[in-house]
Amino acid sequence: MSTAPRPSDLRHLIQVPNFLGHRPGTVRSVQGTVPSGEPVEFEVTERPWTLLVFLTSACDGCEELWRAFADPESLPFPRDVDAVVVTRGPRFEAPDKVARLAGSGSVVMSDDAWTDYGVHTGPFYVLVDGAAVRVVTEGVAWSLEQIASSVSTARGDA
């Protein structure tokens, strides 16, 4: 009979979703509406880099990210990275609340984008290399600094 220690019980831990490499690398434009209701299409392949940040207005853990992305001039990303907040559509989100949270930042309300990019819940981010037409990194968004570090690593910034 072995007296080796048993591994600790990990059932109480929650797996952090990251689907990179586990789904087709399809990159699609983000189509939806702005909070005022006008249709919008954000074509990610027409930009060098696009950072899609999936947030909800009901997420307590998203408050820091909403504040950061509401002021695009203060974001810690290189100028060739276009940052866009993507919320669920008006069926799930209150457009007035999204508009208040978004400030002067770019926001698209789109259920389809959540499906297209395999996002199950926010906060989540996806970095798209427009020239290569592929997702280069994605993951749960814990903080602005963590996203910035991931973006820098994926781009190979020195």
Domains with residue ranges and CATH for the chain? 30-155 (3.40.30.10)
Return the number of other C-beta atoms located less than 10 Å from residue 79's C-beta: 8
pLDDT digits (tens, 9 = 90+) for 78-108: 999 999 999 999 999 999 999 999 999 999 9
- At residue 61, the pLDDT reads 84
Q: Which of 39, 37, 30 is CA-nearest to residue 93?
A: 37
Indicate if the pLDDT at residue 17 is higher than 70. no
Q: Residue 25: left (phi > 0), alpha (psi -120 to 50), or beta? A: alpha
With the C-alpha atoms ordered 13, 112, 146, 105, is the resulting torsion angle positive or negative?
A: negative
pTM, entire model = 0.84
**Mean pLDDT within 3-17:** 47
Q: How far is CA 26 from CA 2, 14, 98, in A?
A: 49, 27, 27
**Which H helix or E strand runs over 153?**
helix 144-155
